[in-house]
Amino acid sequence: MRVKLFLCAALTVVFCLALRARAVQAAPWDIDMNQQQSLKTSEVARSPVRGTVPAGRRRAHQTLEEAEGRLTNPVARSARSEASGERMWNVHCAVCHGRTGDGMGPVGPMVGAANLLRPLYQEKTDARIYGVIFYGLRAMPKQGYKLSPEEAWDTVNYLRKLQELDAAGGTKAEEGGK
Ligand code: HEC
């Protein structure tokens, strides 16, 4: 019985020491895999120097305001474009803005994602929405680097479809997120 008790106590002490060692990261060779140089979620490997453009191409905009002022939607709404936009929406936007666009995706309320069915957002131009996708806006992280320009315009077209669907059914613009 005594031996058992002793063993128990010894094991507890060893266990506590092990936990403590983890907590203080005692020695240089005790470096955890978590602590490494790596890209965090939503980070890109390298951002281009401000003002530079890809060789052989000129980008028409460098800021959200420029995108909004200078661009027009070159992709006509079509079944193809909306299908591609739906795919992009569900992968890149729905987590915050919800599958229907009402801002109630799984993390929408935590970050204050906009309810894009509201008239305020129905009235924004396609170029504005494209610019927001490309550059982000306040709490919204930029998404543009993950999409080709055509995919981003497809996403704009799909958002228009969501807005129309809601206007026809007419509820979520009132009930959704902020
Ligand atoms: C991490 C969450 C998150 C993701 C992912 C996200 N958004 Fe947003 N979005 C937000 C937040 C938060 C706002 C409100 C920003 C503000 O007004 O401060 C917003 C606002 C917007 C607006 C309104 C901007 C304006 O003109 O005021 C549009 C349009 C929009 N998002 C489109 C999209 C699209 C399209 C995608 C996918 C490509 C997307 N968002 C992905 C969080 C997100």
Count up the domains in the chain and report the number.
1
- Packing angle of the helix pair 149-169, 79-88 (nearest 10 deg): 100
Owning domain of residue 82: 64-175
Q: How far is the CA of 157 from the centre of ligand 1 (A)?
A: 15
**Candidate from 42, 96, 124, 147 with most ligand 1 atoms within 8 A of CB, to mutate:** 96
pLDDT at 36: 73
125-169 confidence digits (pLDDT tens): 999 999 999 999 999 999 988 899 999 999 999 999 999 998 776
Q: What is the pTM of this model?
A: 0.74
Residue 98 lies in a domain: yes
Is 96's C-beta closer than 6 angstroms to any atom of ligand 1? yes
Residue 11 lies in a domain: no
Is 94's C-beta closer than 6 angstroms to any atom of ligand 1? no
Is 113's C-beta closer than 6 angstroms to any atom of ligand 1? yes
Q: Residue 117 to residues 114, 120, 146: CA-CA distances in angstroms? A: 9, 8, 24
